[in-house]
Amino acid sequence: MSNMLTLAQISATEVREEIIHAFEAGQEVWVELALFGIDISITKAVVNLWIGAVVTFLIMFVGSRLLKDRPGAYQVIVEEVYGFGRNSLGGQMGEEGRKFFPYTLTLFVFLLVLNLAGLIPNAYPVTASITFTLFLALLTFVITQYVGISRNGFGGYVTAFVPPGLPLKVVFVPFMFAIEWISELSKPLTLAMRLYANMLAGHLLIFIFLSFILYFGTFMAVVSVPMAIVLYGFEIFVAVLQAYIFAILTQVYIEIALYRKEH
């Protein structure tokens, strides 16, 4: 009881530090490593990333090794995930786009596992890190540009950014070209920011509601705990939704680049 009373006397600065600490913990170096002077230390975030990757792989791998002619529940789930990737992610604009679904489906499952794993207390939410999301978004961007150029040809791909039939070509062609390219370049940024901000905001909200207990006193638990639980449930929903959005947008961006000339 006396402990709780001391907790109730924490200051606003201290509360903020408590919350921030959860994210600072991600930078906690467990094994210090460097490659050509670049820091590649194994931090808590990296370990969480690995755990997420291993879990992702195991979920899928175990499912792929238990295949029977009469499927059990687990096999049905794995097959449904595969079917979801093949039919719902792939082929947004045409059959040719379907061949990229292994990438987007892997991305989806990986992000889903990481999003959900980040909700486990004391785990570090890797997807609430801009470095992580930006890397995947840039990877998508690189694939997008590569696919677009290799299918439509460099000239064809670049000029396809300008819509045909513009009036006053001298002015509008460069203008539209610039606008379209700004839009194209903003895609990876928005992709990265969307996932990062959603995951970070969700975690911060839970922390903030729980920190009311620290700031206002133990009686706030009556409000804070139910709210935290509700938000937690909501976060599970957001975790699935954001993983899906990231994956489907990646697929759509790739297919837009693929069919750039036709659209």
Partner 1 sequence: MLDPTGIFDLIKTSLLFWEFITFAILLFLITRYVYPPIRDQIQKRQAEIEGAIDEAQKTREEARELLAEYRRQIEEARGEGRRILEDARKQADAQRERTKKEAREEGDKIVQRARDEIGREREGAIRDVRREVAGMVIQASEQVLGRTVDHDEHERLVAQALDDLEAEVAAGSTGNGSRTA
User: Nearest distance from residue 184's CB to partner 1, in Å?
Assistant: 22
Contacting residue, 4, 5, 12, 20, with partner 1 by CB under 8 A: 20
Backbone angles phi, psi at 253, to 5 degrees: -60, -45
The answer to whether residues 255 and 263 touch, using CB atoms and an 8 Å cutoff, is no
- Residues numbered 104 to 143 that lie near partner 1 (CB under 8 A) are 105-106, 109-110, 126, 128-132, 134-136, 139
Of 19-27, 151-159, 221-229, 241-249, which part binds partner 1 (CB under 8 A)?
19-27
97 binds partner 1 (CB under 8 A): no
Backbone angles phi, psi at 229, to 5 degrees: -65, -45
* The 3-state secondary structure of 10-71, one letter per residue: CCHHHHHHHHHHHHHHHHCEEECCEECCEECCEEHHHHHHHHHHHHHHHHHHHHHHCCCCCC
The binding track of 57-86 with respect to partner 1, each residue x by CB under 8 A or -, is: x--xx-xxx-x-x--------xx--xx---
Backbone angles phi, psi at 143, to 5 degrees: -60, -45
Cα separation, 46 vs 39, in Å, equals: 12
Contacting residue, 39, 142, 163, 261, with partner 1 by CB under 8 A: 39
Is 8 or 22 the residue whose CB approaches partner 1 more closely? 22
Region label for 122, one of left (φ > 0), alpha (ψ between -120 and 50) or beta (otherwise): left
Contacting residue, 10, 18, 23, 218, with partner 1 by CB under 8 A: 23
Is 50 or 146 the residue whose CB approaches partner 1 more closely? 50
The binding track of 199-228 with respect to partner 1, each residue x by CB under 8 A or -, is: -x----------------------------
Is 152 or 251 the residue whose CB approaches partner 1 more closely? 251
The answer to whether residues 216 and 85 touch, using CB atoms and an 8 Å cutoff, is no
12 binds partner 1 (CB under 8 A): no
Cα separation, 213 vs 220, in Å, equals: 5
Backbone angles phi, psi at 29, to 5 degrees: -80, 125
Residues that bind partner 1 (CB under 8 A): 20, 23-24, 26-27, 33, 35, 38-43, 45-46, 49-50, 53, 56-57, 60-61, 63-65, 67, 69, 78-79, 82-83, 102-103, 105-106, 109-110, 126, 128-132, 134-136, 139, 200
